[in-house]
Amino acid sequence: MRVVRVLAVYIFSTFYSVATKDETDPKGYVLFCPCMGRFGNQVDQFLGVLAFAKSLDRTLVLPNFIEFKHPETNMVPFEVLFQVGSIAKYTRVVTMQEFTKKIMPKVWPPEKRKGISLISVHLSIFKLFSAFCWTPRRAIYDKEAEPGCHAKEGNPFGPYWDHLGVTFVGDEYFGDIPGGFDLNQLGSRKKWDEKFSSEEFPVLAFSSAPAAFPSKGKVWNIQKYLRWSSRITEQAKKYIANHLQRPFVAVHLRNDADWVRVCEHIDVEKNRPLFASEQCLGEGHHLGKLTKEMCIPNKQQIVDQIVEKVGSIGAKSVFVASDKDHMIDEINEALKPYEIEAHRQELDDMYTSLAIMGRADLFIGNCVSTFSHIVKRERDHTGQTPRPSAFFGVHAAKRNIEL
């Protein structure tokens, strides 16, 4: 039995076209569940999956993104949030709806539906980047079940595949392939083709994203192909026109209880990367040390840095997005001498907030947050030149890093 187990992780072309109902790709498809974390994490891994599918020369089935709205788990089609045509400039893609309705019955009948194993197991926040062991895993809930992929065990895994109408009939493992899903290793692509030929395996269905988490710098520029849908773009433009004066500073605050718990695990001495921290400290943190101040700055630090950045560009307004406390009253009190105001969406829509922050004259984000990283990557890689961004607490590091 070919075996693989991903252990100790807190996770996760010759032409470009969008497949149509009359086409199937003879080179095969990549299908996966973005089942690790919230939207910021899902997008972070999606960039790696795009690179993986392109390197394998297979068509990527664009995923549904997962919204966790207790007690429901909602599936949001890719095309509701992003432009399919823009992604198709990078590699071959097809929407999930088109795949399940028109293509899946042709190339992936029920008897061939085998899940490719990439299940993540959370051991401890301190084990974020420890060792990998490639064996089938035990089921979490059914202790009597044989080791395997268990691709539909738990939420959101079960609801995701059930939403697509998929029932797996077996497992396949790729742990013996050099580099796993990292196709930069010599001979890796050839091994994938030999072990999982498109003739025998027209669809590689991954139980979670076949990509590193957190993402590495080599895939960050792919963000330029992720363009917001026309609906979200128009909502962002309308909000800016109605509520904000340019130049404006956009701010992203992370301060909900779950985030506070994440930040408690930062070890300044060990200086290990945490979630998106490499966006402000460089890969391997070669630019400085990760501090708790960068992860969860106090209110005074937040207000002081906003005032500083407002003054530096002569801003006339401020936009704030947050997962809990927008601090509008505190920020406006500090901005009184400037005679400008801070604003937030009355009815929060995180996708519109991301689009607004991407269009700001200056952005202040959270160094550790993958949600902030969406904005940072967009500002760095969309347009002729990068647009200015900064991070809370980074100015207080041993090295002064202005991004």
Tell me the per-residue pLDDT of 149-174, one tens digit each, with 9 for 90 and over: 778 888 998 899 889 888 777 788 78
* Structural domain ending residue among the three candidates 165, 188, 217: 217
247: left (phi over 0), alpha (psi -120 to 50) or beta: beta
| Residue 186 sits in the same domain as residue 244 | no
Asked whether residue 293 falls in the same domain as residue 213, the answer is: no
The residue from 185, 217, 249 where one domain ends is: 217
> Of 397, 51, 402, whose CA–CA distance to 223 is shortest?
51
Whether residues 38 and 165 share a domain: the answer is yes
Query: Residue 134 pLDDT more than 60?
Result: no
Work out the mean pLDDT of the chain and round it to a whole number: 85
Q: What is the pLDDT of residue 22?
A: 56
pLDDT at 116: 61
Given its phi and psi angles, is residue 179 left (phi above 0), alpha (psi -120 to 50 degrees) or beta?
Answer: left
**Domain count of the chain?**
2
The least confident of 56-60, 70-74, 235-239 is 70-74
Domain co-membership, 300 together with 385? yes
pLDDT over threshold 50, residue 78: yes
pLDDT digits (tens, 9 = 90+) for 261-308: 999 989 998 999 999 999 999 999 999 999 999 999 999 999 999 999
As a whole-number percent, the residues of the chain with pLDDT over 90 amount to 64
Residue 348 has pLDDT above 80, yes or no: yes
In the predicted model, is pLDDT for residue 372 greater than 60? yes
Indicate whether 403 belongs to any domain: no
3-55 pLDDT per residue, tens? 332 222 222 233 334 544 458 999 999 999 998 899 999 999 999 999 999 99
CB 63 within 8 A of CB 32: yes
The pLDDT value given to residue 180: 82
Whether residue 294 is contained in a domain is answered as yes
Q: Which pLDDT belongs to residue 12?
A: 27
More confident residue, 349 or 117: 349
Same domain, yes or no: 275 and 168:
no
- What is this structure's pTM? 0.87
**Domain finish residue from 217, 240, 265:** 217
> 300 and 254, same structural domain?
yes
CATH of the domain at 213: 3.40.50.11340
* Residue 390 located in a structural domain: yes
The beta-carbon contacts of 194-200 under 8 Å, at least 24 apart in sequence, are: 195/2, 196/116, 196/172, 198/26, 198/27, 198/28, 198/58
The answer to whether position 190 is within a domain reads yes
- Asked if 158 and 259 sit in the same domain, the reply is no
Q: Is residue 270 part of a domain?
A: yes
The set of residues, in sequence order, having a beta carbon less than 8 Å from that of 101 and lying 6+ positions away, is 21
Say if 10 falls within a structural domain: no
Complete edge-to-edge strand list for the sheet that includes strand 93-95: 93-95, 59-62, 29-32, 203-206, 114-116, 170-172
Domain enclosing residue 339, as ranges: 228-396
Whether residue 358 sits in one domain with residue 256: yes
Asked, for residue 21, whether it belongs to a domain, the answer is no
36 lies in the same domain as 91: yes
Structure token digits, residue 154: 């738990």
